[in-house]
Amino acid sequence: MSGQEQKSNGNTTKEDATQQEVMPSSSVAKADEALKNLSVQEIQKGVTTLPNGAKDMSAHKFWSTQPVPRTDDTSEVKEGPIEPEDPSRVPKEPYPLIDGFEWVTMDLTDQKEIDDVYHLLYNNYVEDPEAMFRFNYSPSFLNWALKSPGWKKEWHIGIRATQSRKLLAFISAVPMRLRIKTETVKCAEVNFLCVHKKLRAKRMAPVLIREVTRRVNLVSTWQAIYTAGVYLPTPVSTCRYYHRSLNWQKLVDVGFSRCPPNSTPSRQLLKFKLPSAPLLSGVRPMKRGDVAVVMPLLKKYLDTMQMAQEFDEEEFNHWMLDEGTPEAEKVIFPYVVETNGRITDFFSFYRIESTVIGNAKHDTLRCAYLFYYATSAVSDKGDDKAVLKKRLNELMHDALILAKKAGFDVFNALTLLDNPLFLKEQLFGPGDGRLNYYLYNYRTSTLPGGIDAEHNIDVGKTRGVGIVML
């Protein structure tokens, strides 16, 4: 799942190839030799992406041993699991580590343990190639991302130095229910694979992947979903990041944006200027009492997608509400539109900050990421794309206004859901990187990702990907 262009550090010109992958316990014997020959860079970056994304399976030494769709398979797609469940093949004990290191299960109810994960990720996880920006996942974000309903302590896995007790590597997974077309599968979402920079020659990443897979398999979970900014065998879909300036001058100051040669700073400031308050009447923060209306509204909308996460009420409350959190630690920003006592629309975005490295004027970049939304506009008036486009543009324009008002510098979104209907209209610019979605031990036909073969927006290729991954 996700360090992606993965989130691209919010940068329109930089692409991060870090990724998280998952490997089931099946095919372990066959994979052992391949794993021994893989470096952490290969695990994290995959293989070099060719212009057309094609690569012979022989070049994918690791992935050719795994139950993933093959790039050279031209047969008709048979939907469903690739390998059958086989609990007897799941090792009962952790995989061995080299001397000086030991497995730990991170207790994320302990603030010190959260701090250890935070510092490891901050110093070693995602940084753009020019070392200008570095993700700064706050402890409140980690609590939100890693402790969703049903989370399992055993799926938060670390490696510590035996003597110093310093945390040197980490990988995580959280459980979810994923609907793939008409089938719903119990799934692990794998994230935050991270190895200390100085230890990447120790080949810890393959062992981390095997260990998280072992623990996931032990509770009879056999499928996984993950993302990568590089091409691996074989994406179920590909989306592209788009970015909308909220504080254009700051983005230029930190090297995130630049003034086009045919424009001037004053023109750019005017171009991206937003009103000081939402334009729709009835826009307000969502509260717990709204869930009974918003949750079925979102479900009805996500049912139009070919692949989407399914939420029960506890999961919805966790992911969509942020009640009682101090403003400085707030992660999720949910809003509804209420007209004459009736909630008609919902939209949300979440916060990730990046540290700006070596800049004299600014040390932090506040990035908003579009999360989930839903509207009754279509259900009220039929499946009319023109009606939907108009309403989504109204909603997203107010989302930009609210994000600007909350102090965000840039607003990021992918070409999933129905986002292509408003990205250009709301002055989002395309990022250089793409985000590939992968299913592990599950095969399905390719899903549209909102872009064409040249990776430009295509409004005719929406509603494939309906899951927003962090």
The catalytic site residues sit at 470
Question: Which residue from 394, 304, 306 is spatially nearest to 347, judged by alpha carbons?
Answer: 394
The tokens of 60 are what?
């994918």
The tokens of 406 are what?
């909350």
DSSP 339-375: ETTEEEEEEEEEEEEEEETT-SS-SEEEEEEEEEEEE
User: What is each CA distance from 456 to 123, 335, 415, in whole angstroms?
Assistant: 34, 29, 10
- DSSP-H helix ranges across 230-324: 248-253, 265-271, 291-302, 313-320
| Pairing of β 183-195 and β 223-228 | parallel
Question: Which residue from 127, 169, 442, 187 is spatially nearest to 315, judged by alpha carbons?
Answer: 187
Report the distance separating Cα 121 and Cα 264, nearest Å: 38
> For residues 22 and 243, is the Cβ–Cβ distance under 8 A?
no
> Phi and psi at residue 80, in whole multiples of 5°?
130, -175
Q: Is the dihedral of CA 241, 432, 64, 449 positive or negative?
A: positive
The tokens of 10 are what?
């919010």
Q: Is the dihedral of CA 73, 75, 77, 78 positive or negative?
A: negative
Q: Is the peptide bond before 234 cis (omega within 30 degrees of 0)?
A: yes
CB atoms within 10 A of CB 428: 24
Using DSSP's 3-state secondary structure scheme, residue 433 falls into strand
Report the distance separating Cα 224 and Cα 294, nearest Å: 28
